[in-house]
Amino acid sequence: MRRLTAEHRLHPAQLVLPLFVREGAAESRPIGSMPGVVQHSLDSLRAEIGRAAAAGIGGVMLFGVPEHKDAIGSGATDPDGILNVATRVAVAEAGDALVVQTDLCLDEFTDHGHCGVLARTASGELVVDNDASLERYRDMGLAQAEAGSQLLGLSGMMDGQVAAVRDALDGAGRTGTALLAYSGKYASAFYGPFREAVVSSLQGDRRGYQLDPANRREGLREAALDIEEGADIVMVKPALSYLDVLADTAAASPVPVWAYTVSGEYAMIEAAAANGWIDRERAIDEALTSLVRAGADAILTYHAIEAAERAAGGGR
């Protein structure tokens, strides 16, 4: 009776699995702060793509972990850089079973760990140069589209990033490459384990370009701006602490709205479950269902395959 009368359901096709691919890795490497998640080699990536396809999830989001970094993130636009190589591998392995998506941001590739190019002000302060970063994003978008990415995840939070990348893609005849705008991306403490996953070189913080956690209306305004610039999908990140922003965005958006259950949210569930404090499977399913209830059309989650297999089996 509860299943029959449930107002919201989680479907495997709504789930997207983030994957980290490490350059030069001969085998997968565990990520200590994210039990069960690894940095993949190209071989283990192929195997994981197969698992994801078999589980019936909607797609995978790829993040590159390069061996070498520099000030402008040169590896992000190198056709032989790890993210673009991994994209070609994933596309070949996935076929039509999954939507292969790529993270379009410089933070994994820069030696300072910021999402854009740095510049020095007249007073000598180093800041992120928004417009210079957009030029790098344009080149990065073209490189990812050329590698076969079907959906570019614009996560850098630079003003005008959607319009810039859309213009570059359209100018190159890549009109079919879709854009996912990380619109409501907040300056959150819940990103901590992700920094380990991508071997972040971050110096300082990102509060200058990510949203203030105190601001609800700002998240909706950012989504509206991204939609005006041509975003095909908008997203709220993190997820569980921002259900109000997610619900606001879902109520107003004419395009699909996604949510990202980030590394810290994943780690909290895993740590509490490991200590016997919560029922792990129920907590995972409840957290994901809450996002669907709040209005998410799809969810990026490290629990994607497991949750999909459970949903396909009728579990809730």
**Which of 307, 220, 301, 316 is closest to 267 using CA atoms?**
301
Amino acid type, 180: L
Any catalytic annotation for residue 69? no
Collapsed DSSP state (helix, strand, coil) of residue 181:
strand
Choose the catalytic residue: 114, 237, 303, 310: 237
Beta bridge partners of 17: 60
Angle at 261 between CA 49 and CA 38, to 5 degrees: 40
Q: How far is CA 97 from CA 11, 26, 59, 258, in A?
A: 15, 26, 8, 20
CB atoms < 10 A from the CB of 190, how many? 22
Beta bridge partners of 21: 40, 64
Helices 304-312 and 42-55: crossing angle in degrees, nearest 10, is 20
CB atoms < 10 A from the CB of 243, how many? 17
Burial of 108 (0-12, 13-18, 19+ CB in 10 A): buried
Parallel/antiparallel/unpaired status of strands 298-300 and 15-22 = parallel
Phi, psi of 198 (to 5 degrees): -105, 10
Question: What is the spatial distance between Cα 293 and Cα 8, in angstroms, rounded to a whole number?
Answer: 6
Q: Which two tokens stand for residue 203?
A: 């110096």
Choose the catalytic residue: 22, 69, 174, 185: 185
Residues with a catalytic annotation lie at 185, 237
